[in-house]
Amino acid sequence: MLACIEVCPEEWSNRLMVTELWVSDKLRGQGIGKTLMDKAKEIAIEQNRRAIILETQSCNTNAIGFYLHEGFELIGFDTCCYTNNDIGRREVRLDLGYFFHKDERRY
């Protein structure tokens, strides 16, 4: 496998969750991640979702930079998602969200 994205509808909140986004090391920096994220945005629009959400780790600075560049913003964090010492380990769960502009949505 060279790259993949997995999305899951969150019906109760009308959001689309990106549960997996992965691009092999040798293909990074070639726009594949952007293409995959554009597909997730397309799916969310087709399903009339109000937002896309995902989680990453505070230590994954490359992913954070990518998501911010793609228009995501911080919507929350969890200081004990992985262990009881996530802050000390410097690996805190970050929740990010992408909110559609009115001209991107159908509703």
Q: What is the pLDDT of residues 28-39, one digit of tens each?
A: 999 999 999 999
By percentage, how much of the chain surpasses pLDDT 90?
A: 93
Name the residue ranges covered by the structural domains of the chain. 3-104
Task: Note whether 12 and 3 are within 8 A (CB).
Answer: no
Instruction: Tell me the mean pLDDT in the region 5-21.
Output: 97
What is the second-level CATH architecture of the domain 3-104? 3-Layer(aba) Sandwich (3.40)
By percentage, how much of the chain surpasses pLDDT 70?
A: 94
Q: Where are the beta strands (DSSP E) in 11-62?
A: 15-23, 51-57
At residue 101 the predicted structure's pLDDT band, cuts being 50, 70 and 90, is confident
The one-letter code for the residue type at 106 is R
Mean pLDDT of the chain: 94
Structure tokens at 14: 């009308």
Asked whether the predicted pLDDT for residue 17 surpasses 50, the reply is: yes
How does pLDDT run across 68-96, given as a tens digit for each residue? 999 999 999 999 999 999 999 999 999 99
